[in-house]
Amino acid sequence: MAEAVKREKSAAKKVTKAASDKKKSSLPPLTNPWTILQYPHLTEKSIGLVESKNTLVFVVDPRMNKKQVKWAVEHAFSVRVTNVNVLNDRKNRKRAFVTLAKENNALDIATRLGMI
């Protein structure tokens, strides 16, 4: 009797687990980095970070995490990223502060993007 109850519970867990796996696949596939990076954030502070700390600031898709933002920047600009910090602000945006490796210059990328 107890074994039958255990089988029913394990079968129910498998069904709910399969249903939850389908919900997680609603994110777009990682083929185009510009689906993650929406636009560069242009403020005095972000331009100061480009010049002083070799850091770029982007507004990104709110569903993305740090690893996905890192992948997008590395593939969009062919650079090496050392650190990514994200910030959810009051305007329902997610900003990513992307620090580049020392061999890559954030000023060059900012110039290509038209930030400076």
Residue 6 within any structural domain of the chain = no
Residue 24 within any structural domain of the chain = no
What is the number of domains present in the chain? 1
Residue 106 within any structural domain of the chain = yes
- 23 pLDDT higher than 80: no
Report the alpha-carbon distance of residue 52 to residue 70 in Å, rounded. 20
Residue 17 within any structural domain of the chain = no
| Cut 0.85: pTM above it | no
| Domain assignment of residue 48, given as a range | 33-113
| Sequence-distant (≥ 6) Cβ neighbours of residue 108 within 8 angstroms | none
- What are the pLDDT digits (tens) for 27-66? 667 789 999 999 999 999 999 999 999 999 999 999 999 9
Residue 2 within any structural domain of the chain = no
Residue 105 within any structural domain of the chain = yes
Residue 22 within any structural domain of the chain = no
Residue 3 within any structural domain of the chain = no
Q: Angle, to 10 degrees, between the axis of helix 106-113 and the axis of helix 44-53?
A: 140
Enumerate the H helices of the chain as residue ranges. Answer: 2-24, 44-53, 66-77, 106-113
